[in-house]
Amino acid sequence: MVEEHSATSSPKDSLRRKIAWGLLFLLILLGLLIVFFRNGAAGGPETILAGQNEQSEDKGAPAEPKKAPGRDRSDPNDPNDERLLRPLHEHPAFAERIAERVTMVSRQIESRAVEDPNVLKAMRVVPRHAFIRPAEQRYAYVDSPLPIGLDQTISQPYIVAFMTEALKLNHNSKVLEIGTGSGYQAAVCAEIAQKVYSIEIVEELAKSAKKLLKELGYPNVFVKAGDGYFGWPEHGPFDAIIGTAAAGRIPQPLVDQLKSGGRMILPHGSPRGFQHLVLITKDKDGKLHRKNVMPVRFVPMTGEVQQSKE
């Protein structure tokens, strides 16, 4: 008789196989979990800075210039810093009241023939309400000038946009502003230009604007207290000069600090009466060309300009 081998195994062999299969299952499960968590970490949602998403959707504006490696921060108090500086947009104010800014640009600015895509983008991004006192917050995006204290005002949004567009700024522009005020106009220019140098004759306003612009993340704006009549010659010549206070004459130092091919816009006329926005361009030969572009009413420029004679 031929002996037949049994197909069944002993209880010990069966237990070993069960343990082996159990360990294999656990190893496979552990491997799947590791792959899952790695992919989840790598594919998570990208963080978007306040204002960044809105800017990226505006395809009409040129791309931001590239930063040099390791040179993406600067001392905002040092006007001599030659690093490439750009607004940071990390302050919570940039994420607030966005819809109001979009409406403001659409109804008050685009509808009145301001077309520069860089200017429109800047007006949508800069949080005007951050420059407004608490008592006037409800009017932050109304097309009207508002008081900022010390007998000074923040210009209406349309005028800010109009004057900025007249300068024809680009990412390489160096701007001089006469009359910092709240700092709003400087911030709008800084969204486009490489650097903005702003002078405010009221020391208290200069200090508060400098502090606010630093908090909002504008390392490319430099503010000092002083008489704007004399400009800021050590940082000239400037591609663009903007004045936000009216005088009966155009200060010669500002004309001298305007670069050939540069553009200057400022209110000119009686400080308490009729005024015009005047656009001045300087050709390659240094010859000035002047044009009245709009009747306006600005606060008066003070200081040396009041003592100077024609």
pLDDT in tens, the chain (310 residues): 433 344 445 666 667 777 777 777 777 777 777 655 565 444 433 332 333 333 333 433 433 444 433 334 445 556 666 667 899 999 999 999 999 999 999 999 999 999 999 999 999 999 999 999 999 999 999 999 999 999 899 999 999 999 999 999 999 999 999 999 999 999 999 999 999 999 999 999 999 999 999 999 999 999 999 999 999 999 999 999 999 988 888 999 999 999 999 999 999 988 777 899 999 999 988 999 999 999 888 888 899 887 855 4
Q: pLDDT at position 158, please?
A: 97
Write down the CATH superfamily of domain 89-306.
Answer: Vaccinia Virus protein VP39 (3.40.50.150)
CA distance 181 to 227: 13
Name the active-site residue from 155, 173, 198, 208.
Answer: 155
Range list of β-strands (E), 163-287: 174-178, 195-200, 221-225, 238-243, 258-269, 275-282
Q: pLDDT at position 29, please?
A: 73
* Three-state DSSP state, 264: strand
**In 3D, which of 246, 244, 231, 190 has the Cα closest to residue 214?**
190
Dihedral sign from CA coordinates of 245, 246, 247, 250 = positive
CB neighbour burial string for 148-166, b if at least 16 within 10 angstroms, e if fewer: beeebbbbbbbbbbbbbbb
What distances in angstroms separate CA 264 from CA 100, 109, 205, 224, 282, one per listed residue?
Answer: 30, 21, 23, 20, 9
CA distance 24 to 85: 57
| Tokens describing residue 302 | 């003070």
Residues ≥6 apart with Cβ < 8 Å to 57: none
**In 3D, which of 138, 230, 150 has the Cα closest to residue 182?**
150
pTM of structure: 0.74
6 is catalytic: no
**In 3D, which of 290, 192, 184, 188 has the Cα closest to residue 239?**
192
